[in-house]
Structures are given as C-alpha cells and as structure tokens.
Structure 1
Amino acid sequence: MELDRQIQLLIDNAPQDTHTTQAMQAIAPALKLLAQQLRHSQYYILQTGERDWVLTALSNRANPGVEKRVIYAFPTLQDATADRNSIEDPQVLAIPVPVTHILFQMLAMNTVDSTVFFETPGNLSSGTELRREDLQNLIQAHLPQNHTVRRNAPGHIPPDIA
C-alpha cells in the first residue's frame, strides 16, 4: 500500500474529534518522511494471542544492567516466522502492518524503546534501529508552531492517540 494511502487510513481511523484529527494531519508529513527512508511499505510484526506486539528485551553487553525493549519489524513472513519468539510460542502470530502504522504505534507505546527494521529478506543480523525518542523528536520538529506539544496545552497530542 502506498504511503499516502497509509497516512489517510491513519487519519480516517483516528477518533473523530477536532484535536486528534488536527494532530494526525500535523504529524503525517514526519511519519511519511521516516517511512520513505525504510525499504518496505509493510513489515511483519510478531503479535501475541491477546493482540499485543511482542517486545524483546536486549541487554547492553558492556553494562548488563542496562536493558532496552525493542520490536522487530521483519521484511517477509518467512523472516518473522523464523524468529525465536515465533518458534518458541505457538500463540505468536506474524501480522503484516503498514510501515506508517508501525511508526504511529511507536508514539503510543511507552514500553518500547526502539523498533528494529530488518531491511534485507533472509538477513536478520543487521537492521535499522529507530529509537522512540528520535521519532518523538522528529514529530515535534515537524509540528507547526500552533501545534507545539506541551502537556495540558491546546493542540497537545494526547498520549492515547494511537
């Protein structure tokens, strides 16, 4: 699905109140900009039987006490089903998700530190990591002046927008 159509689906499926619709329209260019830098228009995300996305905790080799939680975005169904989480748990499914929807969901998922986008089918040893904080900063930079995100301010993007 082309990126403009993905963005329009996000806008169409957003809660139909003025603030949410305006916020979605304001962040759409940043989502599209990021999506254009990735190779695929959709990726496969592992999902539990309860429809939660599977998080993987990664430890820092130099500092084992430091951990980050990532979502893996696979380029093909075969790559997703070869992942250890998919193999170990028969309740885990690989679902196709448009790339802009993955980026949008990252904004709402406080428990996620990054998403790793595997770009080359069959190669799960190297991917493009997008940190949630970097995504938030890019969104903030692309918001028009009247949509500056501040807590309890008019134009504030609600934390539950996704």
Structure 2
Amino acid sequence: MNLDQLDQQIQLLIENAPQDGTTPELVAAIAPVLKQLAGRLRHSQYYIPQTVDQEWAITVLGNTTQPDEEKPVIYAYSTLKDVSHGPYLMQDPLMMALPVPVTHILFQMLVMETVYSAIFFETPGNLNFGTEIQRQELMDLTQAHLLQSHPVRGATLPPDIA
C-alpha cells in the first residue's frame, strides 16, 4: 500500500475531526499506530456494509466449541462485488456498501466498544480467509504509543474521539 495514500487519509481524518482543540492533535498523535496497522493490509479502502443512516453492519460470530462466546465483527471487503457474496442482504433498500479509507475504519474501531474486531477480506473473490485486526490490539497499541510519545498527557483516549 502506498504511504502517501495513508498520509492523505490521516490528513482527512485530522481535517474532519471536531475542531475542539484536542481531537485533531490526538488524531495526529495516533497516526503512526493507524498507519502501522493499515500497513498489514493490502488495500487503501474497503467496502463496509451499512444502513442508509451510515450505521455499520456488525456480524456476530459464534464459537462452535464455546456456544456462549460470541464475537461481534465488522466485515471489510476489498471489492463491491464481494459484499454481495457476504452475509448481508444487499437487495434490502435500507442496506448499502460504501468505500471507506482503511485508516478511517481503524479509527472508528477505537470508539466501537461492542466490536471485537474487523475482518478485512484481502483477496477479491475469496471470503474464506481474511486478515483480522482486534479492537483490543488497536487500543493497546494506541495507548502504549500515546504514553510513550506524550507521557505528560498519558494514554487516555476520550470516549468521543471519533
């Protein structure tokens, strides 16, 4: 993936952040973490199934060996065609899939407390294998980075960052 694309995505996040004197600086501070995780992925944007109100679709995955353990995940598809082969009824007029920059997906995961992870389907036509990025890993990396780069402010993320 092109680093210039990631830099442009981060710049967009900063420009679209609430101009409250804190959030743009915080986005800039965590940019290295977003870029590091995005660097594991092949594409600069993914299609996210969502409602017309732009609420992202969440799929709850069950565990066959532990039925009471469930993981709410976001599916991110590399092509629009792949979305139609996923679990969502895209014929539903209340559902759509829009391209979302990869760093924006990761950034949104910071505030999606109910989401366990995002699964990025990297290979067009292959929905059997994806790259999973867990929200907890994102949180841990972000907090460690903030603590290291801003020890005075600490590693606390505001709950309404995104």
TM > 0.5? yes
Provide the rounded CA distance (Å) in 2 between the counterparts of 1:5 and 1:36: 14
Deviation of the 1:6 alpha carbon: 0.1
Match of 1:146 in 2: 152
Equivalences for residues 1-150 of structure 1 within 5 A: 2-87=5-90, 89-143=92-146, 144=149, 145-149=151-155
Kept after mapping to 1: 8 A contact 2:76/2:121? yes
CA pair 103-60 structure 1, distance change in 2 beyond 3 A:
same
Provide the rounded CA distance (Å) in 2 between the counterparts of 1:47 and 1:112: 15
Deviation of the 1:77 alpha carbon: 0.4
Q: Deviations over 1:84-115 (max 9, x none)?
A: 21346342101000000000000011121110
Q: Residue 71 of structure 1 aligns to a residue in which SS? A: strand
Kept after mapping to 1: 8 A contact 2:118/2:134? yes
Amino acid paired to 2:73: V
Provide the rounded CA distance (Å) in 2 between the counterparts of 1:86 and 1:161: 31
Runs of 4+ in 1 over 2 A off after TM superposition: 86-90
Q: Deviations over 1:35-77 (max 9, x none)?
A: 1110000000000122100000011110011111000000000
Kept after mapping to 2: 8 A contact 1:46/1:86? no
Provide the rounded CA distance (Å) in 1 between the counterparts of 2:19 and 2:53: 26
Kept after mapping to 2: 8 A contact 1:23/1:147? no
Unaligned runs of 5+ in 1: 150-155
Alignment coverage as a number of residue pairs: 156
Compute the TM-score of the two structures, normalised by the length of structure 2: 0.91
Q: Is it true that 1:159 corresponds to 2:159 in the alignment?
A: yes
Compute the TM-score of the two structures, normalised by the length of structure 1: 0.91
Q: Deviations over 1:102-152 (max 9, x none)?
A: 000000111211100011000000001111001100111211123422xxx
> Which structure carries more relative contact order (alpha carbon 8 Å, separation 6+)?
1
Provide the rounded CA distance (Å) in 2 between the counterparts of 1:5 and 1:20: 17
Q: Residue 123 of structure 1 aligns to a residue in which SS? A: coil
Amino acid paired to 1:133: Q
CA RMSD after TM alignment: 1.4
Kept after mapping to 2: 8 A contact 1:43/1:76? yes
